[in-house]
Chain A
């Protein structure tokens, strides 16, 4: 069947409603990052100021409002969240109401930051997860993507987290062939043991072909779209847009993947953002294939 005929029969892409606001994301560092990874799907960099830092009052305000929604988990992302000078008080306030996850490159984790993180974690009944992005189990595989010396610095950060009682989740965008997964995992385990991380948690994520990743590997082709037919019998709640929203300094967006797309800006409040989204973007195809790749626990309630 040609794409043209499929499109003719399904003129509109599926609409995904916000079934339940389980995952509230904060784009705390905007698009500002100390690194400039070649696969960054929102092209973050020290000089990418298209999204700016969220401030503490804004985060506190959303946290307070989020309780009426019964949010289940809070996520902090960027850019590099630890570039936001108010991240630690934000996390402390969050952990008073629910579990938090920080997506970090682990290169900005000096001893005093990690010590404070550990205190905050110890003071809460909820889990504080640190998710460390790496793209290969060695400098040779990681650094061409994330930058010179980043592997060593990130592993130092991982070691420091482990020393303070954390069990960071190492996430790696799958920039290798899927059949190499097990071999790559073994090398990750070995690298973790070198920094005394004895029971590492490692999660492999599919790469998203947006931003600089288009130049590094490829963009999406025209056949990579989600049609209404593809959604028949497909569990809607595997898509993050059915169960999450992301707060940025420019408003609430449908998901952290699409913040470069102004059409994904749903307004200035959680109420405004409580409406269906038409998943006609090419990145939606990656979600359709792999499920909610952004959260620790996969789709709504379950695990992916």
Chain B
């Protein structure tokens, strides 16, 4: 047993805050009420929503252990884009709009704070070794979608990174899959944006140490999405983004979705 990693029994994990401070506050309150012993955020604090600076104090005051996602990495380093790699002109247009907005509205102090965050974190969930990351253990901006992530590929990542459990985000749609040999992969989804399922709720993951595998529960969080939509409108953020908050359907940046995930959505 390699020492050093903190051991937890019951944790809440989320990612993709996307400046949705109202959903963040609601998710944290929900997790607290469920008696978790730690809360983790897997990164992507900015994008999409209004007033990016509002999320950082919430994370810090609530002792959320936070990782650096690709968006945070871009903003911290002042890169030209979010490293999502869109090629479609329409997707690029919207991604560019929210990136510039977020970049301009994020204080230098928080940029530095994000730049210093770790890219990965190791913990124990009971006796299982868990690796927390943003996209995938090997690459911050790798998408792990349910329909394009084979078991054998997850097993390889677990072997290479010496982990039983992989926790990731980055795609915005949650899923989990237990594998043979006590392994588990969980994409915790995003709390900043609905999961392209026609519901306005956002989702986080609750993990409970257990044998042979931690138990996973995805928790829907209702929050004042209409208030968020109002804030977004006041900030002149695109109508398309506001529609997503109000309808639960993704309207932009859908080119990265594999067919199964794309087909479940509306656009």
Contacts and interface: CB of A to CB of B under 8 A. Distances in A.
Q: Is the interface of B mostly helix, strand, loop or mixed?
A: loop
A176 to B, nearest CB: 15
A126 B84 contact: no
A97 B157 CA distance: 16
A185 interface: yes
Interface stretch (A65-73, A137-145, A152-160, A278-286): A65-73
A204 B267 CA distance: 20
B152 A67 contact: yes
Interface string B235-267: 000000000000000000011101111110001
B152 A303 contact: no
B152 to A, nearest CB: 4
A70 B88 CA distance: 29
Interface string B151-194: 11101110000000000000000000000000000000000000
Interface stretch (B111-119, B133-141, B217-225): B133-141
B150 A303 contact: no
Interface in A134-192: 165-167, 181-182, 185
Contact of A302 (B89, B139, B260): B139
A128 interface: yes
A304 interface: yes
Contacts of A125: 146-147
B107 interface: no
B263 A72 contact: no
B212 interface: no
Interface centre among A67, A72, A98, A300 (most CB of B within 10 A): A72
B149 interface: yes
A167 B89 contact: no
Given A297-B143, A301-B141, A199 B83 contact: no
Interface residues of B, number: 36
B197 interface: no
Contacts of A67: 152
Interface residues of A, number: 37
B89 to A, nearest CB: 6
Interface centre among B86, B142, B155 (most CB of A within 10 A): B142
B163 to A, nearest CB: 14
Contact of A165 (B83, B85, B254, B263): B263
A181 B92 CA distance: 14
Contacts of B149: 72
A301 B135 contact: yes
B153 A301 contact: no
A303 B156 CA distance: 21
A99 B150 contact: yes
A304 to B, nearest CB: 6
B148 interface: yes
Contact of A203 (B87, B143, B146, B254): B87
Interface of A: 20, 22, 66-73, 97-99, 125-129, 165-167, 181-182, 185, 199, 201-204, 296-298, 300-304
Given A185-B89, A303-B85, A303-B256, 11 more contacts: A68-B152, A70-B155, A98-B150, A127-B147, A167-B259, A202-B88, A297-B256, A301-B136, A301-B142, A302-B141, A304-B87
